[in-house]
Chain A
Amino acid sequence: MNSFAPILPEILLLAIGLLILLVEPFWKREQRRNLGWLTAGGLVLSMVVCLLVGRPGEPVMALGGMVRFDWLGFFFKMLFLAASAATALFMMDVEKLNRRGEAYLLLLASTMGMTLMASSANLVMLYLAIETTSIPLYVLAGFMLEDKASTEAGFKYLLFGALTSTVMLYGFSLLYGFTGTTDIYKLAAMFQAGQLSMGVIVGVIFLLVVGLGFKVSIVPFHFWAPDVYEGSPTPIAGFLSTASKAAGFAVLARLFVVAFPNLASSWATILAVLSAITMTVGNLLAIRQSNIKRLLAYSSVAHAGYALIGVAAASRLGVASVVFYLIAYIVTNLAAFGIVVAYARVSGSDEIAAYDGLSRRSPGLALALLVAFLSLAGMPPFGGFIAKVLVFAAAVESGLVWLAVVGIVNAIIGLYYYLVVLKHVYLFRNEAAESQPLPVTRPYMIALVALSIGVILVGTVFAPWFGLSDAAALNLF
Chain B
Amino acid sequence: MNFPVLSVIVFTPMVAAVAILLMPAEKRNETRSLALAAATGALILSTWMYVTYLVNGLTGYQFVEEYNWLPALGMRLIFGVDGMSAPLVLLTGIVMFTGVLISWGIDDEHAPTGIQDRPREFFAFLFILASGVFGVFASLDLFMLFFFYEIAVFPMYLLIAIWGWVKTREYAAMKLTLYLFIGSVISLIGALAMYFKAGFNSFDMRLLEQANFPADFQIAWFLPVFFGFAVLGGIWPFHNWSPDGHVAAPTAVSMFHAGVLMKLGAFAALRVGIMLLPEGAKYWSWLIMTFAAIAVVYGAYIAFVQTDFKYMVGFSSVSHMGLVMLGFSTLNKQGLLGSGVQMFSHGVMTALFFAVVGMVYDRAHTREIPELGGMGKILPFASIGFIIGGLVSMGMPGFSGFIAEFPIFLGVWGRQWLVAVIASISIVITAAYIMRNIRMVFFGNMPEKFEGHISALTVLDKVAIVTLCAFMIGIGLFPSLMVPMVQTGVDNILRLLGGA
Contact = CB atoms under 8 A, between A and B. Distances in A.
Interface in B24-73: 25, 68-73
B177 A415 contact: yes
A422 B25 contact: no
B147 A426 contact: no
Interface in B130-165: 143, 146-148, 150-151, 153-154, 157-158, 161-162
B387 interface: no
B71 A463 contact: yes
A285 interface: no
A385 B150 CA distance: 9
B377 to A, nearest CB: 37
Given A379-B150, A379-B154, A423-B170, A466 B72 contact: yes
B161 to A, nearest CB: 5
B21 interface: yes
Contact of B185 (A360, A411, A423, A426): A411
A377 B161 CA distance: 18
A397 B196 contact: yes
Range class of the A interface residue count = 20 to 34
A372 to B, nearest CB: 13
A374 interface: yes
A116 B185 CA distance: 38
Contacts of B73: 393, 466
Interface in B62-90: 68-73
A408 B154 contact: no
B207 interface: no
Contact of B174 (A370, A408, A419, A463): A419
Contacts of B185: 408, 411-412
Given A412-B182, A462-B70, A380 B151 contact: yes
Interface stretch (B187-195, B434-442, B455-463, B472-480): B187-195
Contact of A415 (B72, B118, B178): B178
Nearest to B152: A380
Contacts of B189: 392, 396, 401, 404-405, 408
Given A385-B150, A408-B185, A412-B182, A427 B162 contact: yes
A367 interface: yes
B368 interface: no
Given A466-B73, A470-B72, A412 B196 contact: no
A15 B328 CA distance: 68
B155 to A, nearest CB: 10
B186 interface: yes
Contacts of B181: 411-412, 415
A466 B74 CA distance: 12
Nearest to B182: A412
B196 A396 contact: yes
B308 interface: no
Given A412-B185, A427-B170, A463 B69 contact: yes
Contacts of B146: 389
Contacts of B151: 379-381
B70 A466 contact: yes
A389 B144 CA distance: 12
A363 B121 contact: yes
Given A381-B147, A415-B178, A462-B70, A426 B193 contact: no
A392 B154 contact: no
Nearest to A385: B150
- What bracket does the count of chain B residues touching chain A fall in? 35 or more
A158 to B, nearest CB: 40
A416 B69 contact: no
A401 B186 CA distance: 11
A221 to B, nearest CB: 28
A363 B68 CA distance: 35
Contact of B157 (A359, A405, A422): A422
Nearest to B195: A393
B454 to A, nearest CB: 30
A467 interface: yes
A385 B178 CA distance: 16
Interface in A342-388: 359-360, 363, 367, 370, 374, 377, 379-381, 385
A463 B154 CA distance: 24
B158 A408 contact: no
Nearest to B14: A381
A467 B196 CA distance: 20
Contacts of B71: 463
Given A381-B151, A396-B196, A401-B189, A423 B161 contact: yes
A422 B196 contact: no
A257 to B, nearest CB: 19
A408 B147 contact: no
Contacts of A415: 177-178, 181
A389 B73 CA distance: 12
Contact of B72 (A363, A374, A416, A467): A467
The residue in A367, A415, A466 that gathers the most chain B C-beta atoms within 10 A of its C-beta is A415
Interface in B249-280: none
Nearest to B124: A367
Contacts of B170: 423, 427
A370 B121 CA distance: 12
Nearest to A464: B70
A379 B158 CA distance: 14
Given A393-B192, A408-B185, A466-B72, A426 B25 contact: no
A419 B177 contact: yes
Interface string B7-27: 000000000000001000100
A406 B415 CA distance: 39
Contacts of A419: 157, 174, 177
A381 B13 CA distance: 14
Contacts of B192: 389, 392-393, 396-397, 404
Contacts of B120: 363
Contacts of B147: 380-381, 385
A380 B444 CA distance: 50
A472 to B, nearest CB: 13
Interface in A390-439: 392-393, 396-397, 401, 404-405, 408, 411-412, 415-416, 419, 422-423, 426-427
B70 to A, nearest CB: 5
B356 to A, nearest CB: 27
B154 A374 contact: yes
Contacts of B153: 379
Contacts of B154: 374, 377, 379
Given A363-B120, A379-B154, A401-B189, 16 more contacts: A360-B118, A374-B154, A377-B154, A379-B150, A385-B147, A392-B189, A393-B195, A396-B189, A396-B193, A408-B185, A411-B181, A419-B157, A423-B161, A423-B170, A463-B68, A463-B71
25 contacts: A374-B154, A379-B151, A380-B148, A381-B151, A389-B146, A389-B188, A392-B189, A392-B192, A393-B192, A396-B193, A396-B196, A404-B192, A405-B189, A415-B178, A416-B178, A422-B158, A423-B161, A423-B170, A426-B121, A426-B162, A427-B161, A427-B170, A463-B68, A463-B69, A466-B73
Interface of A: 359-360, 363, 367, 370, 374, 377, 379-381, 385, 389, 392-393, 396-397, 401, 404-405, 408, 411-412, 415-416, 419, 422-423, 426-427, 462-463, 466-467, 470
Interface of B: 21, 25, 68-73, 118, 120-121, 143, 146-148, 150-151, 153-154, 157-158, 161-162, 170, 174, 177-178, 181-182, 185-186, 188-189, 192-193, 195-196
The list of the 6 closest CB pairs from A to B, nearest first, reads A396-B192, A408-B185, A379-B154, A463-B70, A380-B150, A380-B147
